[in-house]
Chains A and B, each alone.
Chain A
């Protein structure tokens, strides 16, 4: 029980009474020391000096003993023999023993009160929304709310590795698995693995903090080369003008922001840099994927002599491309300056140059495009030049890769976004700054909502910048709120606004979803089977069933022209995304030739982005309508197959397009004649749908693989005379409402006129498509005539009885 005795002694030493005595004795010691120093300059009586020496005694003793106590706190296994360590109670550190002693006195309540005062445990508990009051409340009903310390000691002893000592993190890892927490974690949907991951993060952070406390044990890590290291390097006046030196103080930043699973990239960059040839590194990835962060970690390792390569202690500089471009008035001048910079680096021989966003030199800036390959080619073989640059995937594909000379200079390293398991840890490593700035505190569930929802709904933004940006935005919006704790609902609200996608199903939306077929029918007349199928698919999507990483819904609408296929898509855009503008309509007849796929996704040959790429980048949450899909080239159809299957697509520029927030609708007129014949012979859509699909497969219009990928294949039937009249009424009402809104004039249209418009607007080939034209040319003209001739005042009513002049 050595550890118990030690803990009791430490607690006694730290107790309030002893603390007061210690402070008083140190005060006395300080005054005595001043007197002794004064005796060196002034004459004091020997008795005073004697007393002064005497009064320093307790201070000196407390100081010495205090050092010993601090040492024991940091090194709990000091002085324990291997026999001592066989006993589980000797394998607990001071903080754990303190909690165990609290339990021996006050049961579980005492235990949790003590744990809640431990700074390391407190942050874990608060992230899990476990305040001291909540913890005590959860354990109040525990049947054996007494001293269970011996069980706890045994459990911790069994968990930890041989030779190590149990910490407060081991204690949390065991106690948070107790069944009393189950309802709390179930309510918050926090899994045991997530709890363990959170504990591991703080354990690791604590270990790094402890290593800093024991700094004298690792003098090599503090090595920087010193202020005279640059005296051996030559003058670099041009380089000094356009670059900034990265100093060893970068460690303060890198220590706070570990790279987690991507830390191996740092070693890869360093190993490439020390190669004899091809030793310039190009970090290729999306902006915001952490390429600069990786470079800072490389710089940290080199500047602190931690790479164990000849590059240790090398100077690291950041090129300020904006300043460089601004200082030049022509491409020639820019090339000349770059020449000077590289000459100076070569002459110096101990510099790594970092160029962030190489595109700023490659692309057309205000002085023109630099032929970097020409400039760099001169220095290709020079072992004394080391460059690390970042470039976006798109620029690499379009501007670096096609230039054989430029591409061969670099050792290319692809920087993929961090894995999703790293994201909560990355946010946690940045969270302290954000929380302090905005005076808020993020619960674990809120942090999880940031990673999950931003990954699902903000697919156009790069990770992890996306998560950090959202975290900061949520914090900023919650700044000054009554409750400091940020809940997942606050995150949902921000992501809803950013993405334009309704995430939480509100009360009004619940009603809408349950009544979806009727709502769609307010704008789409007839087509009951198709509307029902679309409504069901949407219901499934909003309930979060089955979609996963696929689009929100995928539909193929088959049927003749002008029967409501596009109108359904438009209504869905209005219903689901809140605006008819959220409809991206692509006429697939334009993509029927061999270059169709290039037009759709872009081509790197002429650096032309595709129409789909542009539209989706601008609006990742939308209804995507592929009109007359059967007319698209086979390659385009195959591409859609991949979209329906995986919900994502890599463009020719290497950019990944995600369709997870899109509703995809393909329409086709194929089989229209068959549909008409069946309807005319009195068949219902339900009865001939399968036959139609079999016919389309037999005629090789669509492959079975493609048709099977759609959530729903809906068949639209030709419109009947009464349906046309209903559509006419709907369109006319829209026109009349618009006139009333703009002019303040009420217009009434007789039933005879509506019937006449319906007749004129119906076309056997184009369905109801001609309606809009007839309404415009005949009805609107007639209304205009009346307005001109009668000059009605706002509030007046006009009646249209006939369409004749």
Chain B
């Protein structure tokens, strides 16, 4: 059982932990609609666009302006959200790397922690 534990910890255990981290990445990107936001990054906000047939030149210019404004709003809001998602993902990846380091050390906790305890006590 002990050798089985070590084998699992450094093979399937790490794979499983990786899968859980990947799941978290998936959930975060899905929750914040990251794929949709990237696909529609420059699309008008709430698909709010105007169109008119046989409009005068000045009206066509106004429509163009308003449609452009709608796209700018959409772009800005989506950019903010995408930035927040990327930030959260970055924090998650840092935590995952730290977690991986701890994971690797845990089976040797019986050796490492007492050693740390001795070092700290005699400082």
Residues of A within 8 A of B (CB): 5-6, 9, 46-47, 49-54, 56-57, 60-61, 64-65, 67-68, 71, 78-79, 215-217, 219-220, 222-229, 231-235, 313, 347-348
Contact = CB atoms under 8 A, between A and B. Distances in A.
Given A61-B110, A231-B78, A50 B118 contact: yes
B9 A222 contact: no
B8 A61 contact: no
Closest 3 CB pairs of A and B: A50-B121, A226-B33, A228-B33
Contact of B46 (A68, A71, A234): A234
Contacts of A348: 47
Interface string B82-108: 000000000000000000000000110
A385 to B, nearest CB: 16
Nearest to B47: A234
A216 B20 contact: yes
Kindly name the residue among B7, B8, B19, B119 whose own CB sees the greatest number of chain A CB atoms within 10 A.
B8
A226 B36 contact: yes
Given A9-B1, A235-B48, A225 B121 contact: no
A231 B113 contact: no
Given A50-B121, A228-B81, A60 B36 contact: no
Interface of A (DSSP majority class): helix
A385 B19 CA distance: 39
Given A57-B109, A227-B32, A233-B47, 4 more contacts: A50-B119, A61-B109, A219-B26, A225-B30
Contacts of B27: 219, 222
A79 B109 contact: no
A68 B120 contact: no
Given A49-B121, A231-B45, A232-B47, A71 B109 contact: no
Contact of B23 (A52, A215, A227): A215
Nearest to A235: B46
Contacts of B8: 68, 71, 78-79
Contact of A228 (B4, B19, B23, B37): B37
Contacts of B26: 219-220, 222-223
B60 interface: no
23 contacts: A6-B4, A46-B121, A53-B117, A57-B113, A64-B107, A64-B109, A71-B16, A78-B8, A78-B12, A79-B8, A215-B23, A216-B20, A216-B22, A222-B27, A225-B30, A225-B36, A226-B29, A226-B32, A226-B33, A227-B33, A228-B32, A228-B81, A231-B45
Interface string B19-43: 1101100110111111011001001
Contact of B12 (A65, A71, A216, A227): A71
Given A226-B36, A229-B36, A216 B23 contact: yes
A232 B120 contact: no
B77 interface: yes
Contacts of B37: 228, 231
A56 B113 contact: yes
A56 B105 CA distance: 14
Contact of A68 (B5, B30, B47): B5
Contacts of A68: 4-5, 8-9, 13
A54 B113 contact: yes
A50 B117 contact: yes
Given A61-B110, A79-B8, A231 B40 contact: yes
A215 B20 CA distance: 9
A79 B7 contact: yes
Contact of B117 (A51, A65, A219): A51
B30 A222 contact: yes
B67 to A, nearest CB: 13
Contacts of B121: 46-47, 49-51
B123 A5 contact: no
A227 B31 contact: yes
Contacts of A222: 23, 26-27, 30
Contacts of A234: 46-48
A71 B9 CA distance: 11
